[in-house]
């Protein structure tokens, strides 16, 4: 196939394309300072990189400070937890002591109730004795360092018991106790 070129088409095989001419330097007036030369592109990149490094360093410092605060708070929390455990143990110990005291109080309450029942029973016994028309008294005889406490006996017998037992020795007192018990029934003296 033959290539036909139109005569109107310009043949550019031998033409050389010239680059555009650089601008002419500006004419400076007398006494005017020269303009600063434009910075190359790589200088702007280096400055931006330095700024980023400074920012990273600042963030690392802030992160280190935050970690330190977290560690301090964790230490404070651990101390508070130990204190809470100690307080819980102290509360448990006090509750145990309170429980022991409460049991003792309850036991004493039961003892007081028992004593009141005994007193009431004795009061009823005294009332019964008074209704029988007899006068009774509760006797406590002291012989040396030994105290003899007995039950309710008739007052008419007190003079005899005081006279006879007050001058007796301890072995005689034991024998006298047996004798008076058999003789007067309810007297039943015993040593305390």
E strand or H helix that includes residue 153? strand 146-154
Over the Cα atoms of the chain, what is R_g? 61
CA 3 to chain centroid: 106
Instruction: List, run by run, the mean pLDDT of 10-residue segments along the chain (192 residues).
Output: 49 53 60 53 75 92 93 93 94 95 92 87 70 47 45 48 48 40 40 36
> What pLDDT score was predicted for residue 90?
95
CA count, 13 A, side-chain hemisphere, 24: 3
Q: Give residue 80's Cα distance to chain centre.
A: 10
Residue corresponding to tokens 């190359």 = 40
In whole angstroms, what is the distance from residue 56 CA to residue 62 CA? 10
152, β-bridge pairs: 138
Distance from C-alpha of 113 to C-alpha of 130, rounded to nearest angstrom = 25
CA distance 66 to 46: 30
In angstroms, the CA 172 to CA 166 distance is 11
Domain locations in the chain?
51-133, 135-191
Q: Give pLDDT, residue 93.
A: 95
């Amino acid at each position: 196939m033959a290539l036909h070129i139109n005569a109107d088409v310009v043949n550019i095989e031998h033409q050389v394309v010239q680059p555009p001419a650089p601008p002419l330097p500006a004419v400076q007036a007398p006494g005017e300072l020269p303009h600063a030369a434009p910075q190359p592109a790589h200088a702007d990149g280096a400055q931006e990189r330095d700024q980023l490094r400074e920012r990273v360093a600042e963030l690392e410092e802030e992160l280190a400070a935050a970690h330190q605060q977290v560690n301090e708070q964790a230490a404070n929390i651990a101390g508070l937890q130990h204190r809470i455990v100690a307080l819980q143990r102290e509360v448990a110990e006090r509750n145990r002591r309170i429980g022991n005291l409460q049991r003792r109080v309850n036991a004493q309450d039961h003892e007081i109730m028992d004593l009141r029942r005994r007193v009431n029973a004795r009061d009823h016994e005294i009332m019964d004795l008074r209704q029988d028309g007899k006068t009774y008294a509760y006797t406590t005889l002291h012989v040396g360092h030994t105290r003899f406490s007995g039950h309710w006996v008739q007052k008419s017998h007190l003079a005899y018991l005081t006279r006879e037992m007050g001058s007796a020795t301890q072995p005689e007192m034991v024998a006298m106790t047996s004798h008076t018990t058999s003789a007067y029934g309810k007297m039943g003296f015993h040593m305390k």
